[in-house]
Structure 1
């Protein structure tokens, strides 16, 4: 009975049509039912909320990966999430070129595998930068050599650890690279008609852009689909503290950074004439005292005072004081 209009509603409708506020064509368009196409041969496995949660996870992964690549390649690298879509495994495999770079990633907690695929243009640009080249991304349609595969394997292993870090709020996982394949047609982790979540990332290294794809089979993520929700994501981040986690990750990375240390025994000033006459056996008197402390420099800046000595058969210094800003005399 809800479709029957009252006399007042009929009068208002006729008045609107007469005044031109509503056109008959517009009413016809609004009255048409919208039909959504549904393919029974490819049923959707992931809900919209689950897809959105996967997007949030990999937006964080893209930020972490940008930092990692920038440090490894010593240049600005921008990684951004392009899309997360659901499609069949066969469609994903057929969309790849041959040869490509595909890593088989084993996730112990879920008892299965996912795939990490890297476009050859991107792979060769990374290899060139790591080996001292410009990394101009000149297109090469050839398989990787054994040495190149070893380098990419090690790099991919570190990328996978960063991926596990991005998934930490949903599932603390141990992920490892089980193998590297150049022909996607030889990789059969699931049946071709099974559905997967495909995460596509764009990696930009200077003027070179390439795609990196992450393929998550639905049967792999099925045990944790209940956790793939924005509510669960935010509750976990609030419990653990996002800022605290990021700070710990940053401190851990800084803790592994190598810093050069220089111990300066002393300084002196001589003339150019004296420099030209120096011979083996000549003695140069330094400004510092033999019984005094010497400077320890961190990245060319004096940070500590120390006393020289020996540890076994090697020279060593013992820190005696910390130099403060503006302290020239120690």
Structure 2
């Protein structure tokens, strides 16, 4: 017995495309947190651009490429062999952060700082004590701009702890711990370099959660205020019935039953007392009767005034 492939295919919903998931790199960084870090790193790039240009006396641009999450071991494995890691503390955040630059880039910076032209041919050796002091001073200025950029996330006091020529010796996190890496591009004249800023996720997590909660509270407050203003505008446009009445009196059923045309009912409302202006049994004003042209009218008055 045959069957129709067409009927079978049209009776099923198309499946969504498969997505690759790396179980060795579970996604921990929320989209909101990634956006906060991206904005902070872009701000740091703009601020550091001014510092580098004025310090090196050469047009320099530091810009963000991307913010990504990986394990600490993957970060270390991806570093160039000849690279220098600046180990930093970000008090009051717990832990250590790393700023990595290749040795040749640092040599070009030192050449500029000492009045040179920053040529590509630089010696391949470790930094001397004087060269380390020059780099420490330059990074100290850059870290002040980093603190400014991080203010939307947390108020930090960055401090350069040491310069390491071998990042494998820096125990900033366990090999499998997740870290947040900001890949940045450094342009000095015609030379294009890369700079990596690595921060353990455990260091940033409390500050990111607090910043996200504060942002959510601010956003929700704005939404509530906008909803309240919209409701107020709509309520102001709603038409309601308004009555102007004398003081009510009480009558027995027999009195009401004996009423006839021509009978006079004493209201007990003094002639000097204004009438009540009401809506839905609520009194919100007082008025005295009068006329406006050929129509009855009421003049709103202050009941305290005689």
Shorter-chain TM range is 0.5 to 0.7
- The aligned length equals 213
Secondary structure of the residue aligned to 1:213 is strand
1:58 to 41, 52, 56: 41
Secondary structure of the residue aligned to 1:128 is helix
1:78 to 52, 61, 64: 61
Consecutive unaligned residues in structure 2, runs of 5 or more: 1-5, 220-306
Consecutive unaligned residues in structure 1, runs of 5 or more: 1-12, 15-23, 237-330
CA shift for structure 1 position 58: 0.7
Q: Which residue of structure 2 aligns with residue 37 of structure 1?
A: 20
Select the structure of larger CA radius of gyration. Answer: 2
Q: How far apart, CA to CA, are the structure 2 residues paired with 1:167 and 1:187?
A: 23
The 3 A distance-change label for structure 1 pair 140 and 210 is farther
Q: Which residue of structure 2 aligns with residue 137 of structure 1?
A: 120
CA shift for structure 1 position 37: 2.5
Q: Is the 8 A contact 1:170 1:233 kept in 2?
A: no
Q: Which residue of structure 2 aligns with residue 95 of structure 1?
A: 78
Q: Is the 8 A contact 2:95 2:200 kept in 1?
A: no
2:154 is equivalent to residue 171 of structure 1: yes
Q: Which residue of structure 2 aligns with residue 191 of structure 1?
A: 174
The 3 A distance-change label for structure 1 pair 235 and 207 is farther
Q: How far apart, CA to CA, are the structure 1 residues paired with 2:54 and 2:36?
A: 28
CA shift for structure 1 position 114: 0.7
Q: Is the 8 A contact 1:89 1:190 kept in 2?
A: yes
CA shift for structure 1 position 227: 3.9
Q: Is the 8 A contact 2:71 2:177 kept in 1?
A: yes
2:230 is equivalent to residue 209 of structure 1: no
4+ residue segments displaced more than 6 Å? none
- CA offsets 1:100-140 (integer angstroms, 9 cap, x no match): 11111011211221111112232111111001110123354
TM-score by length of 2: 0.64
Q: Is the 8 A contact 1:49 1:230 kept in 2?
A: no
